């Protein structure tokens, strides 16, 4: 199992790797750009992003400054981190660095990358409100609204209906006459008709 084995070994002992990453992140924060192999750039990136998140707490946060000094042993670089870099990324929720692929190294053909700070301002997407699908125009149990017809079509329908009424009236009269002959009248009906 790989418990507590996060990160890359980089072909070094733990103490050597720790010292190398400290030196690299210090140089990166000082120059704000560094060129190294892909694997080392990915390791330095995670360490640098954690330090920038500490710096976002503000220059007056002594505990955060001491935590940064455990990694970066240069006080001038830590001062730059808290006074310049931290306030620069105060509105950004993460992703302060980027890795740009460069050519391969000439001697051993190792893939090289450039680690640099992001300079573009952050652009947030509009977030949908929770449960917004319930408030929208279409819901699961909504009935379709009736479609209004143009006025000209309504007038034509009225004219057609008026011309068809006598035919319908005659058919209804025939049906009532047939019904009247089949069924005997109730005694209460005669009284109503006389009255």
Domain boundaries defined on the chain: 14-120, 151-182
pLDDT, residue 88, reads: 95
What's the mean per-residue pLDDT of the chain? 82
pLDDT band at 97 (very low <50, low <70, confident <90, very high): very high
Which pLDDT score, from 0 to 100, does residue 166 have? 54
Write out pLDDT tens, residues 102-140: 999 999 999 999 999 999 988 878 887 776 656 655 555
pLDDT confidence of residue 169: 53
How confident is residue 154, by pLDDT bands cut at 50, 70 and 90? low
* pLDDT tens-place string over residues 24-45: 999 999 999 999 999 999 999 9
Residue 96 has a pLDDT of: 96
- Return the CATH architecture of domain 14-120: Alpha-Beta Complex (3.90)
What is the band of 74 on the pLDDT scale with cuts at 50, 70, 90?
very high
The pLDDT score that the predictor gives to residue 89 is 95
Q: 3-state secondary structure string, the chain?
A: CCCCCCCCCCCCCHHHHHHHHHHHHHHHHHHCEEEEEHHHHHHHHHHHHHHHHHHCCCCCCHHHHHHHHHHCCCHHHHHHHHHHHHHHCCCCCCCCEEEEEEEECCCCCCEEEEEEECCCCCCCCCCCCCCHHHHCCCCCCCCCCCCCCCHHHHHHHHHHHHHHHHHHHHHHHHHHHHHHHHCCCCHHHHHHHHC
Confidence check: pLDDT of 76 > 80: yes
pTM: 0.63
- The set of residues, in sequence order, having a beta carbon less than 8 Å from that of 112 and lying 6+ positions away, is 35, 36, 37, 38, 101, 102, 103, 104, 105
Predicted pLDDT of residue 2: 85
pLDDT of residue 85: 96
């Amino acid at each position: 199992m790989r418990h507590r084995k996060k990160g890359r070994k980089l072909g070094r002992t733990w103490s050597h790797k720790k010292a190398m990453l400290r030196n690299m992140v210090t140089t990166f924060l000082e120059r704000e750009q560094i060129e190294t192999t892909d694997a080392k750039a990915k390791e330095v990136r995670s360490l640098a992003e954690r330090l920038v998140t500490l710096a976002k707490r503000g220059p007056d946060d002594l505990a955060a400054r001491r935590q940064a000094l455990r990694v970066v042993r240069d006080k001038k670089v830590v001062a730059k981190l808290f006074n310049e870099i931290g306030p620069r990324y105060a509105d950004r929720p993460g992703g302060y660095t980027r890795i740009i692929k460069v050519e391969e190294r000439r001697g051993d053909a190792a893939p090289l990358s450039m680690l640099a700070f992001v300079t573009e301002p952050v652009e947030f997407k509009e977030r949908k409100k929770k449960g917004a699908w319930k408030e929208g125009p279409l819901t699961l149990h909504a009935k379709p609204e009736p479609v209004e017809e143009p006025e000209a079509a309504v007038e034509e329908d009225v004219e057609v209906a008026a011309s068809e009424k006598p035919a319908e009236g005659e058919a209804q009269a025939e049906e009532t006459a047939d019904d009247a002959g089949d069924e005997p009248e109730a005694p209460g009906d005669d009284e109503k008709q006389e009255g």
